[in-house]
Amino acid sequence: MGILRRNYKKYYPETQLYSRSSNRFLSKFAIAFSTLAIIFSSLTLARVFTLQREVESLEDSIRRLTTLPSPVPSTNLPNTTDSNIPSPPPVVVPYSTTAPLPTRTLPPGQFVQSALNNQGQVELLQVNRSPHQANVVNVQIRIRALKLNIPMSEYIDLSNTTARNPTTNETYKAISGESTGVVSLGAMQSANQPVVDAYVWLQVPTQIEVIDIYIPNTKPFENVPIAS
């Protein structure tokens, strides 16, 4: 009787254990790698989103800087001039065609006063009542520049001339718009006019015959008679 030979596979338990351990390790490594990939992908997307927002913000800023605002009409602009800073008066050299002709009725040299700290001199030529209005007095004056290089800011504003009753101290003002206005000694020199004539109208009651006259930046004239 022949011997039957059978092929038997040898069983190696150590090899199977090693194979199962290797599979588990690879599975865990794959899971860990997948998790890291997901995390890095999320971080990359977040960074891309943040950069996109920053770029959009930068574009908006550039757009606002390069866009010019619409011009505003000058009539709607607020007045930014400081009201506490006085505006300089206009510089005028008297050449008014409406001024009465200077006819001297006062004695020469009787009513002469210094002006603007002796830089100029003011002389009264006549103080007469108007033939058409008895309560209006016409004062004619002569202004001289005595020094050289007088600034334009050195001026006499005849519109602020006043008169006073020497007995009652009652004050009388100049009639608005009825004077030569501002006379600048510096402008006189620039125009080669060392001497100019000017005028002012004063509102003085008819019964007053003598007045004191106060011209700005000039020493006062006292007891000046009013001619009819």
Number of Cβ atoms within 10 Å of the Cβ of 154: 19
Q: Which of 81, 161, 166, 151 is nearest to 117 (CA)?
A: 151
Select the more confidently predicted residue: 195 or 71. 195
Mean pLDDT highest for which of 22-31, 64-73, 102-111?
102-111
Mean pLDDT of the chain: 78
What amino acid is encoded at 136 in this protein? Answer: V
Beta bridge partners of 214: 162
String of DSSP letters for 165-213: -TTT--EEEEEEEEE--EEEHHHHHHTT-SEEEEEEEEE--TT--EEEE
Q: What's the predicted TM-score (pTM) here?
A: 0.58
pLDDT of the residue at 150: 93
pLDDT for residue 201 is more than 60: yes
pLDDT for residue 65 is more than 70: no
d(CA 49, CA 55): 10
* pLDDT confidence tier of residue 50, bands split at 50, 70 and 90: confident
Select the more confidently predicted residue: 152 or 65. 152
d(CA 162, CA 174): 6
pLDDT of the residue at 74: 44
pLDDT of the residue at 77: 44
Burial of 156 (0-12, 13-18, 19+ CB in 10 A): buried
Beta bridge partners of 218: 115
Q: Which of 223, 226, 212, 221 is nearest to 124 (CA)?
A: 221
Angle at CA 176, nearest 5°, toward 171 and 177? Answer: 140
CATH class of the domain comprising 112-225: mainly beta
d(CA 166, CA 134): 20
Select the more confidently predicted residue: 49 or 124. 124
- Residue % of the chain over a pLDDT of 70: 65
Give the C-alpha distances (Å, rounded to integers) separating 113 from 7, 151, 217: 152, 20, 10
pLDDT for residue 167 is more than 70: yes
